[in-house]
Amino acid sequence: MTSSLVKLSAENPDLTPAHLPMHPMMYGVIAFSILMVLLLTAYAFRSVWTRH
């Protein structure tokens, strides 16, 4: 299968890899930020069960 993909890419030089809309490290920063917000949200409700 790999050889067929190499042959296909050699025949079609117009197939270029897609460019990312932002720097790859920013995806990690955004994911980390979202997970931290979720963690802080869960932490805010840590003692709700003891009040009821």
Domain boundaries, the chain: 20-52
Round to whole Å and give the CA distance between 19 and 10. Answer: 20
Compute the mean pLDDT over every residue in the chain, rounded to the nearest whole number: 82
DSSP letter at 11? H
Is pLDDT above 70 for 42?
Answer: yes
Residue 31, pLDDT > 90, answer: yes
Tell which wins on pLDDT, 10 or 22: 22
Which regions of 1-52 does DSSP assign to beta strands (E)?
A: none
Instruction: Look at residue 37 in the predicted model and tell me its pLDDT.
Output: 98
What pTM was estimated for this model as a whole?
A: 0.59
At 3 the pLDDT is 74
